[in-house]
Amino acid sequence: MDKEFCLLDEPWIKVLDEQNVTREVSLIDIFTNAHRYKRLAGETVTQDAAILRLLLAVAITVFYRYRADGCEDCVLEYDDPEEEILNRWSEYWDSGAFNANVFQEYLETYRERFYLFHPETPFWQVADLEDGTNYSVINLFGNIKESNNAASRHHFHTIDGSYIDNISYAEAARWIVYNNAYSVNVKTKVDGENKPTGVGRLGQLGLIIVEENTLYKIMMMNLCALNINGEVWNNPKPIWEKEPRTRPGVEIVAPDNLPQLYTIQSRRLLLYRDNEKILGYRSIGGDYYSTVDDLTEPMTLLRRDGKKKISFKPKKHAKEIVAWREFPSLLVENELKPGIICWLENLMHNSVIDNKQIVTFRMIGLEYGDGMSYTNGELIDESLSMSNEFLNQVGRVWITYITDQVNKCEDVVQKALYKFAKNLSLYLYKGDTSGTKRIKELLAVEYYFKIDKAFREWLISIEPSSSKRDIKEREWQIISSQTAEAIVRNYIASLSPQFTMAGAKAFVVFKKELYKIYPNNLGEGGE
């Protein structure tokens, strides 16, 4: 196989430029002009997330080894590397752009590893791969189940409805990165035994990314150059600096640095081509490791695992839970916060970034079907904005209060709306409560839908250093209680006239329960 299509030079990464035009650029170009591009703009947000991790692997490696002015200077050789990290980050941030010469010099060192086609080391592939299963090109997009899935048409079909049977080299390069990150669960035969290697790395996460107004700033804010304990990582080891691994189904030691983590090869893969088009590929399970108590990953929510709740695992986003309901998982004290939050707190604590600006967290996830063997096409893409003062000492006092309000919203659903649904069902069906779940879920969906925008606006209006807690709490409690009451009243109004009395009786129970949640915003006894 001849060497062809080097990703350092060939345009393949999709970005949105200053004129809001989507264009394809090379890997060297993206580090030369990241400050001129607004964001990644690939086929899906999940593809963008996977490519961002690739870019971060490059950025972190260079950041650890070079100063902003291009001088070679490894942070690991400092007596106080943590302090140097923060000083260096500030230098990079103030420069407003990456040092193009340094990044080009670094990438050129590993040019041979960035050819999409190469006789020995094709990009993120295994040359002459013999093991595995042959797939058509559409499977690069993920094993998306087509039934009841409108998204599948975007992935699988041309405009006239026919199946896609080939893609360009540039598109294939993007989807290779995506496939490695979000591929479905596979079983790989190793030494005569089928071993499950799991879904791709990002498919296991509730991904959190800090948003900014340029691609350069996005990479800098998500650099996470210190770990969850505020310490430096071990020496960066991205996949292109290591000998390629070819054996399928390899259980590895958990990475101890982000470039290695961000470039884990969860699949062994080889593209098939003809007439400068990709027709399909061969694939089998690659590297995997246990995620229990692995705290290397910074870009995810965490949850307690097991009956004793003493271990942590990545927590996936649930499509039915909007981003603001994850506020406690992001910031609540006495829990293990995501590494990205700890990184921002470090920047704030050391006055590296302005402590009076809005920070936006983007939460990205992908839903899988039974046995994680296919994706159902459900993408989770939510954003949550707030003052970055929540990340310093001033804001921490507020976190408990806001978490309490989030929990009270849950109480409105699980207690007040539930009591209404249960009692209405009793009255409607003469002692039968089988309709409780249906009625409650219907009301809950409407409640969360109607308070979603209001909560986001309320949260972003809070300035921890100057806002009055009692005033802001009352603002929200009035919105929440009035919204819930209006939804219940409208539901009662939709009932047939013969059921009006049943609705009125259930409403009294609902108001009493709502009063327990918000006693300061309702009359005594819930009247």
* CATH code of 483's domain: 1.10.132.100
Query: How many other C-beta atoms are found inside a 10 Å radius of the C-beta of residue 428?
Result: 18
Measured in Å, how far apart are the chain's first and last C-alpha atoms?
A: 80
**pLDDT band of 34, cuts 50, 70, 90:** very high
Q: Does the structure show a pLDDT above 50 at 527?
A: no
Strand pairing report for 22-25 and 13-17: antiparallel
Q: Mean of the per-residue pLDDT values for the chain?
A: 88
163 and 297: one domain? yes
Q: Which range is most confident: 142-151, 350-359, 468-477?
A: 468-477
Question: What is the predicted pLDDT for the residue at 455?
Answer: 94
Contact between residue 268 and residue 132 where contact means Cβ atoms under 8 Å apart: yes
Question: What is the predicted pLDDT for the residue at 159?
Answer: 42
Instruction: Give the end of a domain, one of 325, 355, 389.
Output: 389
Q: Does the structure show a pLDDT above 90 at 293?
A: no
pLDDT tens string 385-404: 999 898 888 888 898 899 99
Sheet strand arrangement including 13-17 = 22-25, 13-17, 37-40
**pLDDT band of 526, cuts 50, 70, 90:** very low
Instruction: Please give the distance of CA 10 from its chain centroid, rounded to a whole number.
Output: 28
183 and 319: one domain? yes
CA atoms within 13 A on the CB side of 193: 6
pLDDT tens string 60-104: 999 999 999 999 999 999 999 999 999 999 999 999 999 999 999
Contact between residue 65 and residue 48 where contact means Cβ atoms under 8 Å apart: no
**pLDDT band of 196, cuts 50, 70, 90:** low
372 and 400: one domain? no
365 and 439: one domain? no
CA-based nearest residue to 27, from 135, 123, 140, 145 = 123
**How many secondary structure helices (H) and strands (E) does the chain include?**
15, 17
* φ, ψ at 80 (rounded to 5°): -125, 80
Distances (CA, A) of 332 to 281, 319, 390, 399, 415: 45, 21, 10, 6, 23
Average pLDDT over residues 140-163: 50
Contact between residue 484 and residue 451 where contact means Cβ atoms under 8 Å apart: no
Measure the CA–CA gap between 475 and 48, rounded to whole angstroms. Answer: 38
Instruction: Give the end of a domain, one of 389, 418, 433.
Output: 389
pLDDT tens string 239-289: 999 998 898 888 899 999 999 999 999 999 999 999 999 999 999 999 988
Question: What is the predicted pLDDT for the residue at 525?
Answer: 41
366 and 493: one domain? no
b/e 111-127 (16+ beta carbons within 10 angstroms → b)? eebbbbbbeebbbbbbe
Instruction: Please give the distance of CA 260 from its chain centroid, rounded to a whole number.
Output: 19
b/e 214-244 (16+ beta carbons within 10 angstroms → b)? bbbbbbbbbbbbbbbeeebbeebbbbbbeeb
SS3 474: helix
Q: Does the structure show a pLDDT above 50 at 164?
A: yes
Residue 185 or 111, more confident: 111
Lowest mean pLDDT among 55-69, 219-233, 296-310, 455-469: 296-310
383 and 418: one domain? no
Instruction: Give the end of a domain, one of 330, 365, 389.
Output: 389
Q: Which range is most confident: 90-99, 181-190, 294-303, 430-439?
A: 90-99
241 and 166: one domain? yes
455 and 320: one domain? no
CA atoms within 13 A on the CB side of 464: 21
**pLDDT band of 333, cuts 50, 70, 90:** low
Question: What is the predicted pLDDT for the residue at 344?
Answer: 93
The fraction of the chain above a pLDDT of 90, given in percent, is 62
**pLDDT band of 335, cuts 50, 70, 90:** low
pLDDT tens string 345-373: 899 887 777 777 899 999 999 888 765 55
Work out how many domains the chain is built from and give that number: 2
333 and 187: one domain? yes
Contact between residue 285 and residue 269 where contact means Cβ atoms under 8 Å apart: no
Q: Does the structure show a pLDDT above 60 at 28?
A: yes
Q: Which two tokens stand for residue 219?
A: 């990479």
286 and 309: one domain? yes
Question: What is the predicted pLDDT for the residue at 499?
Answer: 86
Q: What is the DSSP letter of 362?
A: E
CA-based nearest residue to 424, from 493, 432, 490 = 432
270 and 410: one domain? no
CA-based nearest residue to 122, from 247, 338, 269, 226 = 269
CA atoms within 13 A on the CB side of 455: 25
Q: Does the structure show a pLDDT above 90 at 318?
A: no
CA-based nearest residue to 76, from 141, 66, 275, 106 = 66
* φ, ψ at 356 (rounded to 5°): -135, 70
- Boundaries of domain holding 452: 393-526
Measure the CA–CA gap between 386 and 359, rounded to whole angstroms. Answer: 6
Residue 373 or 300, more confident: 300
**pLDDT band of 510, cuts 50, 70, 90:** very high
The fraction of the chain above a pLDDT of 70, given in percent, is 89
382 and 405: one domain? no
Average pLDDT over residues 315-336: 77
